[in-house]
């Protein structure tokens, strides 16, 4: 880690394939988001805050990233800071979260699964709250902060 605390410069390697990730810009209504994508396995790295911008739901992104302690310790080291990563699984979406920098790794298909979940949640939050009350209690706690 650099003394300045800014570790976001320069290419990082795929935590699965150990090849450099390619930077891609995701166009949004607000400021565009720069993400890092592996050309081999299709996985994507999101620095802290980037996942919320891409899936357009800060509550759901935070539910994954702000409490990584709830996940199990995963096999990967963080490609950004070398920190330990934990695996969280909610709604069948597996998310690797760095316990240090709060960056997020999603394997191929998991970003889409998460986006689809967000869309369903926005459309249909009432019925889902009854089915998954514990998760929504956690969301409410985050949105209060
Ligand atoms: Zn890869
Ligand atoms: Zn990290």
* 64 Cα–ligand 2 center, Å: 14
Task: Tell me if 70 is assigned to some domain.
Answer: yes
pLDDT at 19: 96
Task: Tell me if 128 is assigned to some domain.
Answer: yes
Task: Specify the pTM.
Answer: 0.76
Task: Tell me if 87 is assigned to some domain.
Answer: yes
Task: Tell me if 1 is assigned to some domain.
Answer: no
Task: Tell me if 8 is assigned to some domain.
Answer: no
Task: Tell me if 102 is assigned to some domain.
Answer: yes
Instruction: Read off the pLDDT of residues 11-50 as tens digits, 9 standing for 90 and up.
Output: 799 999 999 999 999 887 677 889 999 999 999 999 988 9
Which ligand has its closest atom nearest to the C-alpha of 21?
1
What is the number of domains present in the chain? 1
pLDDT at 115: 86
Task: Tell me if 135 is assigned to some domain.
Answer: yes
Task: Tell me if 9 is assigned to some domain.
Answer: no
Q: Is 63 helix (H, G, I), strand (E, B) or coil?
A: helix
Instruction: Read off the pLDDT of residues 76-133 as tens digits, 9 standing for 90 and up.
Output: 899 999 999 999 887 788 899 998 998 999 999 998 888 888 888 777 766 656 666 6
- Indicate left, alpha or beta for 38 from its phi (over 0: left) and psi (-120 to 50: alpha): beta
* 132 Cα–ligand 2 center, Å: 29
**73 or 82: which carries more pLDDT confidence?**
82
Residue 76 structural domain: 22-143
* 143 Cα–ligand 1 center, Å: 33
Which ligand has its closest atom nearest to the C-alpha of 38?
1
**What six digits make up the tokens of 108?**
């191929």
């Amino acid at each position: 880690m650099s003394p300045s605390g800014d570790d976001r410069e320069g290419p990082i390697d795929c935590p699965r394939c150990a090849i450099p990730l390619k930077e891609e810009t995701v166009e949004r209504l607000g400021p565009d988001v720069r993400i890092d994508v592996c050309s081999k396995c299709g996985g994507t790295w999101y620095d802290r805050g980037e996942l919320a911008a891409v899936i357009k739901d800060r509550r759901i992104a935070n539910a994954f990233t702000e409490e990584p302690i709830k996940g199990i310790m995963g096999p990967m080291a963080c490609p950004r800071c070398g920190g330990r990563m934990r695996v969280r699984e909610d709604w069948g979406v597996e998310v690797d979260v760095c316990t240090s920098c709060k960056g997020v790794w999603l394997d191929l298909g998991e970003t889409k699964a998460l986006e689809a979940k967000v869309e369903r949640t926005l459309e249909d939050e009432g019925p889902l709250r009854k089915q998954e009350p514990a998760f929504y209690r956690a969301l409410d706690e985050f949105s209060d902060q």
